[in-house]
Amino acid sequence: MCANELNKLYDEEILRVIEGLSHPIRLSIYNLLAEKGEMFTGDIFKLIKGEFGVSSHQTLLNHLNVMQISGIVELERVKNRYKAKLKKMIGIEVKEI
C-alpha cells in the first residue's frame, strides 16, 4: 500500500471518529466510557437523561449505534440488556498557528 492510500485510509478513519463524536450526547457517552471502560446502557441513560433531556432509551441506543458504526464503541447483548464497551481511546490535539 502506498503512502497516498494510507493517508486516504487515515483521513477516512478521522472522518468516522468525528461523525461518531459530533453530538454532545455522544461526546458525553464517550467521556463516561473513557472513565469506566464499559457500562450497561440503562446506567448510561440514567446519567445523561437529565443533562440532555433524553426522554427514551431508544434515543440513547440510536446515538450508540452511530458510535458503533464509527468504530468507537461495541454493543454487546447480555440477556435482556445491552452493554456498551469503548473500543478506541481518542486523542485530539488542537494547536494555534
pLDDT of residue 1: 60
Strand order in the sheet with 81-86: 38-40, 81-86, 73-78
Of the two residues 11 and 7, the one the predictor is more confident about is: 11
Within-domain flag for 78:
yes
Calculate mean pLDDT across residues 74-79: 95
Within-domain flag for 52:
yes
Eight-class DSSP state of 7? H
Domain count, the chain: 1
Q: What is the pTM of this model?
A: 0.85
Within-domain flag for 80:
yes
Calculate mean pLDDT across residues 18-22: 91
Question: 69 pLDDT exceeds 90?
Answer: yes
- Here the CATH number for the domain that contains residue 61 is 1.10.10.10
Within-domain flag for 95:
no
Q: Which of 7-11, 37-41, 48-52, 85-89 has the lowest mean pLDDT?
A: 7-11
Give me the domain span that covers residue 38. 3-86
Within-domain flag for 94:
no
Within-domain flag for 36:
yes
Distances (CA, A) of 92 to 36, 74, 96: 20, 21, 13
